[in-house]
Structure 1
Amino acid sequence: MFCLLLSDYMSRQALNALFPMLKLQWGLSDTQLGSVSSIVPLAVGVLTLPFSLVADRWGRAKSITLMAGLWSVATLGCAIAANYHEMFVARMFVGVGEAAYGSVGLAMLIGIFPKRMRSSIVGGFTSAAAFGSVLGVSLSGIIATHLGWRWSMGMMAIFGLVLVIVYGVVVTEKRMACVCADETDDAAVHDRLAWAPRALLSSLFPSRSVLCAYLGSALQLFIQGTLFVWLPSYLNRYWGMPVGKAAVVAAGLVLVSGLGQFLCGVITDWVSGNSSLRRWNMAIGYCLALGVLLEFAFRLPPGNLQLALLAPAVFFLASSFSTCGAIIAGATSPTIHGSAFATLTLFNNILGLAAGPFVTGMVSDAVGLQIALRWLPVAAILPLTMYLLGRWCHCAQARR
């Protein structure tokens, strides 16, 4: 499951390291470059809930095999694209293939591990997104430097197709039924009773605090999506790094983000135990640290001191997965965890990972990428507000 999520994000993020080459070869604007990146999370956000509902009923293991095969073939389509429009269509199908993998995969894992480990499991599994981004961006930049950008995308596709074959052999519906027998029995009852739209909606949004968790996670990922996409270009333009070196340095920062994503989950479980209130407190603390460190970092001129502040800042970049994921899992029924995580994915991708690179690309075309990133820390105010409001709603609900 972890390796497939690696492939997911390698296919998604590999193109970011190739922006300077595509900009030169096809004469693309930053808005166009942002759009071929943003179309993937946009497709994921739009399709994640319906695809997750289908996967819950048709079979999660079979659905994942089909999805992984589709995003790998679509990545191969990116390698043979002849212009911007063909690349855009191929990237859209990458998003279609990846649409429900994160939510369905996380629901499978949550059903296997104990409740006290939820933040660790959510943080550990989803940290593959950061590690996959590291591998995708760094390997893509290196391969493109020596063999050309088309080989970069082709290698990502081959890696995904090999994993699909391995996954299809190792993970089957029969094996999952053995380890998740209780959840399967509950899901059968849920299939009969709670698939009506109104009942499902009330189950996905049982309280205002859960809505705040969805929104807070998505708004924090606006920052993550922006940095993952635009850091290689920022290092290339303003630090004067060649494409390959910029990709490697950006990948190092993303690696720090992945380590932070996992460790924040472990720390949150250790501090919070079974207390949702403490998880809200951790979310607030992580988001505040992210905003302050980014503000100091991007106000400095390009150089080693800026890099020294960016590293601890990105450590907290994806902390919302481990905090908000566990909060939502604790507030919703286990029988709809797949749909709940799909809803979280919808919010994360449309308001966060899709909006961040595209909006930043538009601002960059208007005032320059350096100024656009300088104002990025201001965006941390929005998730911080949602976390504070969610904590207040949680306390009010507990008093009632």
Structure 2
Amino acid sequence: MSNAKPAPLAKGAWYTLIILTLVYVSNSIDRTVMSILIEPVKAEFQLSDSQLGVLTGLAFGLTYALAGLPMGWLIDRVNRTKLLAAVVAIWSVCTSICGFAQSYPALVMARLAVGASESAAAPTAMSMIADLFPKERRSTAMGIFWTSTAFGTATSLLLGGVIAANYGWRAAFFVAGVPGLILAVLIFLTVREPARERDLGGRSDEPAPSPLQTLRFVCANPTVFHAFIGVGLASLAMSGVPVWAASFLVRTQGFTLPQAGLMAGLGVGLFGALGSLLGGPIGDRVVRRWGVQTLPAVPMTACVLACASGLVFALSSSLLVVALAFIVFEVVSRAFTAPAYAILVTGVEPRMRGVVVSSVQAVTNLIGYGVGPLVVGVVSDRVGGPHSLKFGIAAVMIFSLWSGLHFLVAWFAARRSQRFAEAIAE
């Protein structure tokens, strides 16, 4: 337990954090608005659940993954605020273009463009937050940032369902693209590029390590390596529930689309945000009380609880139990994120952060948001029947438990790793 006085914050740290959080709210809206539009899009283009799984996940995750590593390379080398302003504008325009699609392939192509441009958002934000906030406050700052996914998803579910019901699903895409364009201008005009933190044993003006050097560093550090794998596996389960939640409620509980969007949106917005806000301070408290070596225990516990609550959500026939399980799932799955990413950005050198976070985001979007919803859709199609989504959602919960095992290994590795302890003692 350390009694050292926390390092002072960089100038403008809180303002920048607010802007970065709003940017990722926009990111999450544009990413997830497709999920509330599944039913009307399915009806118009006569799609199967497997095709919808591609549209909601793989079409986005594929280009996200392919663009992620080049974006990470740029993030470690260029002005991050200008890069962020550019990609926010691009993905906002591409989201609006989705509303003009006249066929399934055209909609897939537009979603591919959204995925590629969104790949820079989280890695840029993580890199900047790590430079703006010292290690004692980093999990809390990241917890605040990751509330954006809850607020963004909730906004897309709540407003997307209402807009689609009253003005058509195309209008929902048009509206979703507007906030990002405003934020792009705001970033360019008001957000300053933060000074990069000094690498351990090096100088801040040294060139960034190559992607290969970063890969070797991660593979040689079992704590970071297993956290990396754990985040990817957890995303398989934690993407399956929000993406299919509204359709699940329509098919199994007889909800209308606006009703399903309201329930799913409130669950994600209120309790998902609560989970994000809790996860950061819990992670920081664990670090202060038991040392950073214990931090992997937080996402490990969250993964186990997410698996249990996700299974109850999927398999229960009682609306009350389904609602309560969904609330618990949202709290624990969102609480997972901040401490998990804190392990990654704290355990590697500062000029490796862009590549590392881009890589893990590529994995989470290709395997998690890409394959996760697709697995749900494929299992649903194979089972068949009006309640087949129950089995699709239950199937992906195994990945949450598998992720917990990797964080358990990361915990044991961190307790033995002198290198990991030294990395955050600096």
Matching of residues 199-238 of structure 1 within 5 Å? 199-238=213-252
Q: Which residue identity does 2:315 align to in structure 1?
A: R
Range 262-271 or range 141-150, more displaced: 262-271
2:267 is aligned, of 227, 231, 253, to 253
1:359 — aligned with what? 375
- Find 1:341's aligned residue among 344, 347, 357: 357
Aligned pair partner of 2:280 in 265, 276, 279: 265
Paired residue for 1:306? 322
Alpha-carbon offset, residue 223 of structure 1: 1.2
Alpha-carbon shift at residue 106 of structure 1 (Å): 1.4
Task: State the alpha-carbon separation in 2 of the partners of residues 101 and 163 from structure 1.
Answer: 13
**For the residues of structure 2 that align with 1:312 and 1:262, how far apart are their CA atoms?**
14
Q: TM-score, normalised by structure 1?
A: 0.93
Q: Given that residues 209 and 390 in structure 1 are in contact (C-alpha distance below 8 angstroms), is that contact kept between their aligned partners in structure 2?
A: yes
Work out whether residues 238 and 302 of structure 1, in 8 Å CA contact, stay in contact via their aligned partners in 2: no
Residue 99 (structure 1) aligns with:
119
Alpha-carbon distance between aligned partners in 2 of 1:44 and 1:59, rounded to the nearest angstrom: 21
**Aligned AA (2:244):** W
SS of residue paired to 1:129: helix
1:60 paired with 2:77, answer: no
How much identity, in percent, do the aligned residues show? 24
Residue 326 of structure 1 aligns to which amino acid in structure 2?
A: A
Tell whether the 8 Å contact from 1:364 to 1:372 is kept in structure 2 after alignment.
Answer: yes
Q: Is the 8 A contact 1:232 1:246 kept in 2?
A: yes
Residue 186 of structure 1 and its aligned partner are, at CA, apart by 4.1
Deviation at 1:207, TM superposition (A): 1.0
3-state SS in 2 of match to 1:241: coil
Structure 1 stretches lacking a partner, 5+ long: none
Q: 2:36 aligned with 1:14, yes or no?
A: no
Task: Quote the offset at 1:181 in angstroms.
Answer: 6.1
Q: CA RMSD in A?
A: 2.0
State the alpha-carbon separation in 2 of the partners of residues 385 and 102 from structure 1: 25
TM-aligned CA distance change 1:396 to 1:10, over 3 Å: same
The CA deviation string for residues 239-275 of structure 1, in whole angstroms up to 9 with x for no partner, is 1111111111111121212220221111121122272
Deviation for aligned residue 1:344: 2.0
Of 380, 384, 389, 2:404 maps to 384
Larger fraction in helix? 1
1:105 Cα deviation after fit: 1.4
Distance 1:332 1:27, change over 3 A: same
TM-superposed CA distance for 1:390, in Å, is 1.6
TM norm structure 2: 0.87
Residue 398 of structure 1 deviates from its aligned partner by 4.2
Aligned residues of 2:98 and 2:173 also touching (Cα < 8 A): yes
Q: Is the 8 A contact 1:186 1:335 kept in 2?
A: no
Q: 1:241 aligns with which of 242, 245, 255?
A: 255
1:72 lines up with 2:72 in the alignment: no
Structure 1's 244 and 186: CA in aligned 2 closer, same or farther, altered over 3 A? farther
- Pair 1:134-2:154 in alignment: yes
User: Given residue 95 of structure 2, which amino acid in structure 1 is its aligned partner?
Assistant: T
Q: Which of 92, 98, 102 is equivalent to 1:82?
A: 102
* Preserved CA contact (<8 Å) 1:49 1:100: no
